[in-house]
Amino acid sequence: MTDMTVMPRESHDWTVHDLDLIPEDGLQYELLDGALLVSPAPTRLHQRAVARVFTILTAACPPEFEVLFAPLDWRPDGRTSLQPDIVVLADRDSRGIVADSLLLAVEVLSPSTRRKDAVFKRSKYEDSGVASFWLVDPETPAISAFELVAGHYVLAGEATGDAAVTLSRPFAVTVIPSTLVDS
């Protein structure tokens, strides 16, 4: 039997095709400009925050948009495949390409993914023209929301603890960070 896993010679040689050949093993595999990124399973606190942000977005979502959670690949090119924790898509076409309809990417920070989410993934979303990007820190708790203006992310709103922030893109929603992690 032949091993189907492809191991390029250099770490920046990965493609989305190679990624599709990796067997399921419980880890999260992503590509960023050909570099393979591997993350462990998320923590309970991370998953609680993801679930609550998803619930808030779903409750406010207009019928023409769709809110989904990871794992769902966003593939803007043949050398990038990222899995935002939550996405808002511009359409409900189940066959549509996520890269073409991504309006909002939400990343919930974990100790093992903090730099990847806040720096590398943010930069790729920005460079690819994703209109809105949120960073949620469940440990603080806090949220920082960014909107694309003239090709660069600018802070659209932020809140910490029990403070509320109302955001307008991709649709109006209010978030209170402490409610994302309270057990």
Domain ranges for the chain, please list them: 42-180
Architecture (CATH level 2) of domain 42-180: Alpha-Beta Complex (3.90)
pTM of the model: 0.88
For 83-107, b/e burial (b = at least 16 CB within 10 A) is bbbbbbbbeeeeeeebbebbbbbbb
Q: Please, are residues 67 and 87 in contact by the beta-carbon 8 Å criterion?
A: yes
Residue-level pLDDT, tens digit, the chain, 183 residues: 344 444 444 567 899 999 989 888 888 899 999 999 888 888 999 999 999 999 999 999 999 999 999 888 999 999 999 999 999 999 877 776 676 789 999 999 998 889 999 999 999 999 999 999 999 999 999 999 999 999 999 999 999 999 999 999 999 999 999 999 997
**Structure confidence at residue 183 (pLDDT):** 76
For residue 176, the surrounding DSSP H or E stretch is none
Which backbone phi and psi does 116 adopt, to 5 degrees? -60, -45
Q: What is the CA radius of gyration of the chain?
A: 16
**What CA–CA distance (Å, rounded) separates 169 from 66?**
14
Which helix (DSSP H) or strand (DSSP E) does residue 64 occupy? none
Q: Determine the pLDDT at residue 10.
A: 56
> What's residue 4's pLDDT?
44
Q: What is the DSSP string of 29-56?
A: EEEETTEEEEEPPPPHHHHHHHHHHHHH
DSSP state of 172: -
